């Protein structure tokens, strides 16, 4: 019986040590969009294990290099960018757990929400809509987020 107790203790200790190794964090993967040609000092997304951190993105029309005149078109561009980046790592918008939106004009809150809500099927992530100063390239919104794959 004593021998069984020692064997069981050894087995449990080995299992505990093994669990510690299998649960360690993986190395970060720094990922950029295909065809990105700039050398700006940031990554479009960083994946660590089952968590993805999305860099801020603004809704710039690729044809003009400026935000489109229609506010809702700009929201669609920025949200499509977020969706595309998540899909690059096998995730969806429903994997987002938190989102931050920076906007220099808080009167655009309802316009943003009208488009934003269409990107989620299951639930909405935790979110902050933050009044900001001017954004790069005249953008009206910069959006960043964190996603976790269950």
Region of poorest pLDDT, from 32-36, 117-121, 130-134: 32-36
Compute the radius of gyration of the chain from its Cα atoms.
Answer: 21
Token duo for residue 3: 């021998």
What is the model's pTM?
0.80
Q: What is the 3-state secondary structure (H, E, C) of 119-143?
A: HCCCCCCEEEEEECCCCHHHCCCEE
Cα atoms in the Cβ-side hemisphere of radius 13 Å centred on 41: 0
Average pLDDT over residues 70-82: 97
Two structure tokens written together for 47: 């994946």
Domain boundaries, the chain: 27-148
For residues 92 and 14, which has the higher predicted lDDT (pLDDT)? 92
Distance, C-alpha 55 to centroid of its chain: 7
Selecting from 3.40.190.10, 3.30.1330.40, 3.40.30.10, 3.40.50.10470, what CATH number does the domain 27-148 have?
A: 3.30.1330.40
d(CA 128, CA 102): 8
At residue 25, the pLDDT reads 62
pLDDT tens, position by position, 87-110: 999 999 999 999 999 999 999 999
Q: Give the pLDDT confidence score for residue 37 in this predicted structure.
A: 85
The DSSP 8-state label assigned to residue 43 in this structure reads: -
Residue 150: predicted pLDDT? 86
What is the average pLDDT across 13-30? 55
> Cα–chain-centroid distance for residue 34?
17
Residue (of 129, 121, 127) closest to 94 by Cα position: 121
Q: pLDDT tens, 34-64?
A: 888 888 999 999 999 999 999 999 999 989 9
Instruction: Write down the pLDDT at residue 26.
Output: 85
């Amino acid at each position: 019986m004593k021998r069984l107790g020692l064997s069981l203790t050894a087995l449990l200790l080995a299992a505990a040590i093994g669990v510690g190794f299998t649960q360690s964090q993986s190395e970060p993967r720094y990922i950029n969009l295909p065809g990105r040609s700039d050398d700006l000092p940031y990554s479009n997304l960083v994946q660590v294990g089952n968590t993805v951190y999305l860099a801020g993105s603004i809704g710039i029309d690729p044809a003009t290099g400026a935000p489109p005149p229609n506010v809702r078109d700009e929201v669609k561009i920025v949200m499509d960018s977020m969706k595309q980046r998540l899909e690059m790592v096998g995730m969806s918008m429903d994997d987002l757990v938190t989102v931050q939106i920076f906007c220099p004009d808080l009167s655009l809150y309802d316009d943003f929400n009208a488009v934003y809500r269409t990107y989620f099927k299951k639930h909405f992530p935790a979110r902050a809509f933050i009044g900001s100063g001017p954004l790069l390239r005249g953008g009206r919104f910069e959006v960043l987020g964190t996603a976790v794959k269950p």
